[in-house]
């Protein structure tokens, strides 16, 4: 079991936490940029869109990021996202844990299968989802952290839909997704969670609904909502980087031979 911890941060987080040091990790899938805590060696932040923000959701080097987290011996990964809300019962601007996700074709934006093994390779296998893509022990740890620090965290987990983008969804698409009982959606998170699970890294999904899914806020409104989402999640992310711990991996990869 890995001993390091990490968070993946998205568009709402525009800069590394104060004092974090940049590291470049070479992987077979390309270099990845990671930021390490000055107070806790082995606690990392990864900015999925690059720092500064330069990659659209379809341009993110997902395999390089996952391989870097494995190289750093990460044993607990919190994947964050600012999400659109499909279910009006889900609160806005309150951190939410993801309980499950729906992603039927399991393909990255370039059309290839979302796997660390796009070609035959040693160690390849089938990811067998036994306890869910989101590790129950890590979700419980985040709930305990929130309670101990008096931080907001919604009681009920949400079901996440992956919408790869980079365009937003149509009104008709939003109606269909809501009608299927899906709660929230964004253009990221799912590939990171699947790839990390293939590498044996336990994951939690921590999201904030920054707006109802669909148009109507305008560019300035979206920017403000992302700022508000960052503030809603920031203290809980920092608490995890300060006190989070590795957990057992709840699934397994079935390998032949």
Going from the C-alpha of 151 to that of each of 61, 89, 134, 205, 239, the distances in angstroms are 32, 20, 21, 17, 10
**What average pLDDT does this structure show over 6-35?**
93
Query: How many domains would you assign to the chain?
Result: 1
Q: What is the pLDDT of residue 222?
A: 66
- Give this prediction's pTM: 0.95
pLDDT band at 221 (very low <50, low <70, confident <90, very high): low
In a domain, 238, yes or no: yes
In a domain, 151, yes or no: yes
Q: What is the pLDDT of residue 30?
A: 97
pLDDT band at 219 (very low <50, low <70, confident <90, very high): confident
* Residue pLDDT, tens place only, 125-171: 999 999 999 999 999 999 999 999 999 999 999 999 999 989 999 99
Find the CATH number of the domain harbouring 142: 3.40.50.1580
* Residue pLDDT, tens place only, 22-45: 999 999 999 999 999 999 999 999
Query: Which residues pair with residue 65 across a beta bridge?
Result: none
How far apart are the C-alpha atoms of 212 and 219, rounded to whole Å? 14
Query: Which residues pair with residue 208 across a beta bridge?
Result: 82, 95
In a domain, 93, yes or no: yes
In a domain, 147, yes or no: yes
DSSP 16-46: PPTTPEEEEE--TT--EEEEE-SSSTTEEEE
Strands 43-47 and 4-9: parallel
- Rounded percentage of the chain residues whose pLDDT exceeds 70: 97
In a domain, 142, yes or no: yes
Structural domain range at position 175: 74-251
Where are the extended beta strands (E) located within 41-157? 43-47, 74-85, 95-102, 126-128
In a domain, 40, yes or no: no
In a domain, 86, yes or no: yes
> Average pLDDT over the chain, rounded to whole?
93
Q: Are 198 and 127 in contact (CB under 8 A)?
A: yes
Going from the C-alpha of 246 to that of each of 6, 91, 137, 148, 240, the distances in angstroms are 10, 29, 9, 18, 11
Would you say residue 230 has pLDDT above 70? yes
First and final C-alpha spacing in the chain: 23
In a domain, 33, yes or no: no
Q: 105-119, 203-217, 243-257 — which is least confidently predicted?
A: 203-217
Q: Are 249 and 202 in contact (CB under 8 A)?
A: yes
How far apart are the C-alpha atoms of 237 and 145, rounded to whole Å? 10
How far apart are the C-alpha atoms of 162 and 245, rounded to whole Å? 27
Burial class (CB in 10 A: 0-12, 13-18, 19+), 139: buried
């Amino acid at each position: 079991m890995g001993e390091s911890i990490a968070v993946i941060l998205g568009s709402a987080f525009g800069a590394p936490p104060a004092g974090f040091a940049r590291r470049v990790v070479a992987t077979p899938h390309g270099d990845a940029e990671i930021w390490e805590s000055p107070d806790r060696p082995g606690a990392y932040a990864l900015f999925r869109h690059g720092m500064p923000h330069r990659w659209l959701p379809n341009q993110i080097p997902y395999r390089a990021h996952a391989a870097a987290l494995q190289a750093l011996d990460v044993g607990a990964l919190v994947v964050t996202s600012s999400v659109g809300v499909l279910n009006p019962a889900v609160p806005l601007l309150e951190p939410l844990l993801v309980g499950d996700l729906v992603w039927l074709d399991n393909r990255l934006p370039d059309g290839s299968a979302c796997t660390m093994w796009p070609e035959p390779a040693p160690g390849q296998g089938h990811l067998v989802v036994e306890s869910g893509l989101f590790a129950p022990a890590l979700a419980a740890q985040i709930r305990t952290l929130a309670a101990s620090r008096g931080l907001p965290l919604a009681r009920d987990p949400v079901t996440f839909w992956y919408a790869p983008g980079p365009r937003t969804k149509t009104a008709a698409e939003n109606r269909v997704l809501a009608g299927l009982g899906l709660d929230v959606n964004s253009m990221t998170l799912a590939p990171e969670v699947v790839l990390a699970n293939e590498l044996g890294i336990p994951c939690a999904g921590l999201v904030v609904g920054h707006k109802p899914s669909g148009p109507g806020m305008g560019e300035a409104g979206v920017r403000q909502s992302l700022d508000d989402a960052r503030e809603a999640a920031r203290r809980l992310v920092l608490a995890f980087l300060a006190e989070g711990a590795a957990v057992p991996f709840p699934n397994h990869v079935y390998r032949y031979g």
